[in-house]
Structure 1
Amino acid sequence: MKPVLQITLGILLAGLVMLLVRIAYSGYIEHRVTQGLNEIALKQKQAEATRLEALKIRQKIELQLRQQAKQEAARKSLLAKQKAKERKRKNDAWRTYYTVPDICKSYESDEQMVNCVNHKADAKGKFEKAYASGDLILLR
């Protein structure tokens, strides 16, 4: 019986060694899987941090662009107001500068109308030159 007992013990010992090898291998596999999952989680965190940083940068740029657009709109509005004020000032100066001659208040002939239109055009030319040069003096 001794050989049967030795064979049985050998089989049990082989089974025990196999079990220990399997446990060690399972532990190794579990460690590798956990390590891989940790690496994936770390990469995901890094990607999320990068995405958030890019989002912050994009939002900052968009804010700057909106501020620049507001400033540009304000500048254009101010410029338009200044131009409108200058046009009004110039129109007021023209109305003060040019007085329609009594003869041109009502036309009796085509020739008279042409002469009046020419008179006004000449006066407008002189006014434009004087206004542009700053030499215009209005007494009214």
Structure 2
Amino acid sequence: KNESCGKCVPCREGTKRMLEILEGIVAGKGKLEDMDMLLELADTISATALCGLGKTAPSPVVSTIKNFKDEYIKHIVDKKCPSKTCQKLKTILIDPSMCKGCSKCSKVCPVGAISGKIKEPFVIDQNKCIKCGACLETCPFKAIKED
């Protein structure tokens, strides 16, 4: 995006739209038709861009869709990231059988997403959790895990 000269619409706007779609996919907001849209945009950009950069800019996306289609589908359908790198697709859970209710996790949570009673298993409110991982590092009983 920052390398584009901005002179031709396909490169300037097309790559911007591709980025928006990819950001939606990694945020858990993707739709299956997004893969087709990305391929269609890539074809249009490659065929109509005025320079070599514009013609080849979509290539990495096309390559990943062709070679890692199953990962795109997991991101879109299952809302899961197999490599656990997409922050918004992570789920952090407390295993109630391992949690001793010490409350260390709730004290370090910056958004107050963890609640419970002392000496009873705590829980994470997934709607509040920002997936920062502070609780993972704090739990002395290894009761908190990423899914």
TM bucket, shorter chain? under 0.3
Higher strand share: 2
| TM-score normalised to structure 1 length | 0.21
Larger radius of gyration: 1
| TM-score normalised to structure 2 length | 0.20
